[in-house]
C-alpha cells in the first residue's frame, strides 16, 4: 500500500489540541506559558502550548498505537526502512540501542576506531568488547577518512564470532565508505550491520550522494534528522532495514532509556521534516548542491585554500563524499584551522561547524541561504589577503592505535585516581579524552595512554581546541585506573 507522504498525523493532532485550548489541569507546570512569561514573550505562545504531556489524542512514544505509530510508519516508508522509531535523545540513543540489541556482555563488535563517543558509551552500556578497524588517512588534508573493505574483511576473518559490524556513513568530514560492499561482506558471515548515519539523513533523497544505509541493505541505522534533515535539535530516528532484527526487542531496548516525558515540539518537527523530505527533498537538495558547488568553486579560486569535492575522494576507488560538507584546507595561509575559526567568529560573526589543525568545515543544508555563503566566501577572501602566507609545516597525521587492556564497561566501573597529564604514560585510561567536535576519543576507557597521546593532547590544548570527556575541564589531569 502506498502511503500518503503529505500527511502529518502527529503534527495535526498536536495542532488540534492547541486550538482546542483545553483547561490544563496537568503538567507541565507553566500552563501554556503563564508560569514562564519572560520565555513566552520571546518564543511565542504556540510553542508553549505545544509543550504537552502525554494527553488523550496525541499518543505515547514508548507504546504508540495511533498518531505517533502512523507518523513512524510514514517515516520508515520515506527512508526505505521496514520500521522506524522516533528518537528525542538524539542519534546517541539510537546508536546505543543498536549496540545493546545485538550485543550482550562479552560479545565482540567490529567498529571503526574513529567512532563517535556515543558508540563508546554504547560499549559501556552493553558490555560489548570492541574490535577496532583502523580507518585510512588522507595525507594532504591530514584527516581520517573511512575504513576500507579489505580492512573490515581482515577483522571479520580474525574475529568470526563477532555479533555486529558498525559503520559510519558518512564521517563528520563527509567521507563515506563503500557501504554496499561492507554490508554484503558482513552478511556473508551472517553478521548484522549497524550504521551510524548521524550526518547522512538526507543522502537517500538525491542520487548525487553516497548510498544511504537502508539502500545499501544495512540491518539498522540511526539518523540525525536534526543535523541534515530539517528537524529540531535532539530529534532523530532509529531505522530497521529488514526482518532479521526483532522490532519488538528493539523497542524494549529503546524503552530502557526513553524519557517518560517526551517533547511533542521535537516529535512534531520530525513529522514535518519527514513530509518535507519525502515530498520536496530532491528539489531542495538540488538547490543545496548548487549552492555548495558555487561556494566550493569560489573558495578554490582563493590563493592558499583548497575545498575538495566528491571527485577528489572517489579517486582512491574506496570512498565517496557528501558534497554538502564544505571542507576547506587552510594550511597554506600560514594559519591553523582553529585560528581561522576564531577569526571568522570574532571578526565576521560567522560560525562554522568544525576546525582542526589544517581545516575548517561548514555544513550546507536544507535551509541554506546564498547570502550566508557569500558572506563566508568574502570573509575567506579577506582572511587570505591578510594572512602571512607562510605555509604551516604539516605534522604527520596522528592516528593512534591504543592497546585495549580492559573492556570499556569493566574500565568504567573500576576504581580510578586522578593523575597529572604529564605522568599518565603507561596508565590505563579511566575516562575518554576527545576533541569535540567531532567527538572521537583520542583514548577511551580501558586503553593504555601513551607518550604520543600525551604530547598530542598538549598540542591541542596549546591551540585552544575544545577537549571533552575528562573530569578535569582543562585536562591538566586524567582519571586512570587505580590498580
239-267 average pLDDT score: 91
Does 229 lie in the same domain as 128? yes
Q: Helices 9-20 & 67-79, crossing angle to 10 degrees?
A: 150
Q: What percent of the chain has pLDDT over 90?
A: 80
2: left (phi over 0), alpha (psi -120 to 50) or beta: beta
Q: How confident is the model at residue 296 (pLDDT cuts 50, 70, 90)?
A: very high
The mean predicted confidence, pLDDT, of the chain is 93
**16 domain residue, yes or no:** no
Q: Nearest to residue 254, comparing CAs of 239, 269, 270? A: 239
Q: What is residue 54's predicted lDDT score, i.e. its pLDDT?
A: 79
47-52: long-range pairs with CB below 8 Å, 24+: 47/265, 49/18, 50/14, 50/18, 50/264, 50/265, 50/268, 51/263, 51/264, 51/265, 52/14, 52/17, 52/28, 52/264
Does 159 lie in the same domain as 247? yes
CA distance 321 to 307: 12
| CATH code of 355's domain | 3.90.1150.10
Residue 211 DSSP class? P
Does 65 lie in the same domain as 122? yes
- What is the domain extent for residue 373? 281-386
Q: How many domains does the chain have?
A: 3
Q: Nearest to residue 56, comparing CAs of 44, 65, 43, 48? A: 65
Q: Which residue has the cell 522506524?
A: 84
**56 domain residue, yes or no:** no
Q: What is residue 185's predicted lDDT score, i.e. its pLDDT?
A: 97
Residue 240 DSSP class? E
| CATH code of 465's domain | 3.90.100.10
Does 412 lie in the same domain as 380? no
* CA 233 to each of CA 39, 88, 222, 341, 460: distance values in angstroms, whole numbers, following the listed order: 19, 9, 15, 22, 28
Q: How confident is the model at residue 400 (pLDDT cuts 50, 70, 90)?
A: low
- Confirm whether pTM is higher than 0.85: yes
DSSP string, 262-328: --HHHHHHHHHHHHHHHHHHHHHHHHHHHHHHHHHHHHTTSTT-B---HHHHHTTSS-EE-TTEEEE
Q: What is the pLDDT of residues 372-390, one digit of tens each?
A: 999 999 999 999 999 876 6
**188 domain residue, yes or no:** yes
151-180 average pLDDT score: 97
Does 427 lie in the same domain as 326? no
Q: What's the N-to-C CA distance of the chain in angstroms?
A: 60
Q: Nearest to residue 198, comparing CAs of 312, 118, 288, 280? A: 118
Which residue intervals of 318-433 are DSSP H helices? 337-348, 370-386, 408-412
Does 332 lie in the same domain as 200? no
Q: What is the pLDDT of residues 13-69, one digit of tens each?
A: 999 999 999 898 899 999 999 999 999 999 999 999 999 987 888 999 988 999 999
Does 375 lie in the same domain as 418? no
Q: Which residue has the cell 522490532?
A: 247
Question: Using alpha carbons only, what angle is made at residue 413 by residues 408 and 419, rounded to the nearest 5 degrees?
Answer: 85
Amino acid at each position: 500500500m502506498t502511503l500518503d507522504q503529505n500527511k502529518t498525523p502527529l503534527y495535526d493532532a498536536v495542532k488540534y489540541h492547541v486550538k482546542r485550548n483545553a483547561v490544563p489541569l496537568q503538567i507541565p507546570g507553566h500552563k501554556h506559558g503563564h508560569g514562564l512569561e519572560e520565555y513566552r514573550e520571546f518564543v511565542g505562545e504556540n510553542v508553549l502550548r505545544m509543550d504537552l504531556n502525554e494527553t488523550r489524542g496525541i499518543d505515547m512514544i514508548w507504546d504508540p498505537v495511533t498518531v505517533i505509530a502512523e507518523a513512524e510508519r510514514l517515516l520508515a516508508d520515506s527512508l526505505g526502512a521496514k520500521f522506524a522509531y522516533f528518537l528525542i535523545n538524539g542519534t546517541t540513543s539510537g546508536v546505543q540501542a543498536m549496540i545493546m540489541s545485538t550485543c550482550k556482555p562479552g560479545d565482540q563488535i567490529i567498529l571503526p576506531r574513529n567512532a563517535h563517543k556515543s558508540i563508546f558509551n554504547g560499549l559501556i552500556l552493553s558490555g560489548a568488547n570492541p574490535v577496532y578497524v583502523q580507518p585510512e588517512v588522507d595525507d594532504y588534508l591530514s584527516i581520517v577518512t573511512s575504513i576500507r573493505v579489505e580492512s573490515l574483511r581482515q577483522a571479520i576473518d580474525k574475529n568470526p564470532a563477532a555479533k555486529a559490524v558498525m559503520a559510519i556513513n558518512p564521517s563528520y568530514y563527509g567521507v563515506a565508505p563503500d557501504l554496499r560492499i561492507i554490508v554484503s561482506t558482513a552478511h556473508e558471515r551472517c553478521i548484522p550491520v549497524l550504521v551510524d548515519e548521524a550526518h547522512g539523513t538526507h543522502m537517500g533523497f538525491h542520487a548525487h550522494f553516497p548510498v544511504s544505509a537502508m539502500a545499501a541493505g544495512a540491518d539498522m541505522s540511526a539518523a540525525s534528522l536534526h543535523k541534515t534533515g530539517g528537524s529540531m535539535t535532539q530529534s532523530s530516528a532509529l531505522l530497521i532495514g529488514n526482518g532479521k532484527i526483532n522490532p519488538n526487542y528493539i523497542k524494549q531496548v529503546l524503552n530502557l532509556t526513553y524519557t517518560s516525558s517526551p517533547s511533542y515540539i521535537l516529535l512534531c518537527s520530525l513529522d514535518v521534516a519527514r513530509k518535507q523530505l519525502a515530498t520536496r527533498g530532491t528539489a531542495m537538495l538540488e538547490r543545496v548542491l548548487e549552492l555548495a558547488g558555487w561556494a566550493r568553486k569560489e573558495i578554490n579560486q582563493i590563493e592558499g585554500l583548497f575545498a575538495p569535492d566528491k571527485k577528489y575522494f572517489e579517486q582512491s576507488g574506496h570512498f565517496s563524499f557528501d558534497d554538502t560538507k564544505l571542507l576547506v584546507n587552510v594550511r597554506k595561509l600560514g594559519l591553523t584551522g582553529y585560528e581561522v575559526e576564531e577569526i571568522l567568529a570574532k571578526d565576521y560573526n560567522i560560525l562554522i561547524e568544525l576546525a582542526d589543525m589544517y581545516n575548517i568545515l561548514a555544513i550546507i543544508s536544507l535551509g541554506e541561504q546564498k547570502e550566508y555563503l557569500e558572506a563566508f566566501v568574502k570573509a575567506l577572501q579577506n582572511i587570505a589577503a591578510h594572512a602571512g602566507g607562510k605555509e604551516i609545516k604539516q605534522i604527520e597525521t596522528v592516528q593512534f592505535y591504543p592497546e585495549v587492556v580492559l573492556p570499556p564497561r569493566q574500565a568504567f566501573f573500576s576504581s580510578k585516581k586522578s593523575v597529572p597529564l604529564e605522568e599518565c604514560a603507561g596508565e590505563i585510561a579511566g575516562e575518554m579524552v576527545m576533541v569535540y567536535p567531532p567527538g572521537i576519543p583520542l583514548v577511551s576507557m580501558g586503553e593504555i595512554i601513551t607518550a604520543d597521546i600525551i604530547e598530542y593532547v598538549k598540542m591541542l590544548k596549546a591551540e585552544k581546541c575544545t577537549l571533552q570527556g575528562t573530569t578535569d575541564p582543562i585536562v591538566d589531569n586524567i582519571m586512570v585506573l587505580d590498580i
